[in-house]
Amino acid sequence: MKRLLWTVTAAVAVSVISVSCSRTVTRIDPGEQVDISGRWNNTDARLTAERMIDQILGDKWVSNYQQAHNGQKPVVIVGFVTNKSTEHIEAETFLKDVEQSFIRSGKVRLVQGGKKREELRAERADQQTNSTASSMKKFGLEQGADFILQGSINQIVDAHKKKKVSYFQVNLELTDMQSNEIVWIGDEKISKYIKN
């Protein structure tokens, strides 16, 4: 009996080890569309960023600002994008693409916001006591933003038995910091049909 139990245990252990060792990983092009779970993924983030960038940089708010300010480029700060979906979505993945496109376009200037701005201010404060007078950076000389970009990620799920449609909508809006006027609103919709 002990011998049979030992044989069964060994067989199970070998099969578990062989199953766990059969996993393979293949590098793919980051631009390649791969949907495994039906959840928000890197393709959704990339497509959202590309389409939102086209919308925001192609709209008239940039030229309107430049006409009213002697050709100066507007200064933008990227604020919070709230995830109101049921999934864990890191909004920073597509917001960094948006920020990068702002800089590359040459149409707008970008200033740091949020936690990174606080880190810069803390470093500036540290320099006041730990840096030479000629190299320390002064307080009160930051570039103020003309506009703030904010938004939300929303999701609607419709499911029945083994079928599900997951609908995502990313809403972004650009607000004039001085007047509180919303100068641009854009959205991107992604819908996924999942069948088990």
pLDDT of residue 195: 86
pLDDT of residue 154: 93
Calpha distance 58→25 (Å, rounded)? 40
Rounded mean pLDDT of the chain?
86
* β-strand pairing of 75-83 with 109-111: parallel
Mean pLDDT of 67-78: 95
* Lowest mean pLDDT, pick from 24-28, 95-99, 120-124, 145-149: 24-28
pLDDT band at 63 (very low <50, low <70, confident <90, very high): very high
pLDDT at 1 over 70: no
* Lowest mean pLDDT, pick from 88-92, 117-121, 127-131, 175-179: 88-92
Specify which of 26-30, 99-103, 150-154 reaches the highest per-range mean pLDDT: 150-154
Residue type present at position 181: E
Mean pLDDT of 5-9: 65
- Domains along the sequence of the chain with CATH: 40-125+144-195 (3.40.50)
pLDDT of residue 6: 67
Q: What is the CA radius of gyration of the chain?
A: 25
Calpha distance 175→183 (Å, rounded)? 6
In which residue are the tokens 């979906």 written?
Answer: 85
pLDDT of residue 192: 87
pTM for the predicted model, two decimal places:
0.78
> Could you tell me how many helices (H) and strands (E) the chain has, helices first?
5, 5
Residue 157: in which H helix or E strand, if any? strand 147-160
pLDDT tens per residue across span 38-56: 788 888 888 888 888 889 9
pLDDT band at 4 (very low <50, low <70, confident <90, very high): low
pLDDT band at 75 (very low <50, low <70, confident <90, very high): very high
32 burial type by CB count under 10 A (0-12 exposed, 13-18 middle, 19+ buried): exposed
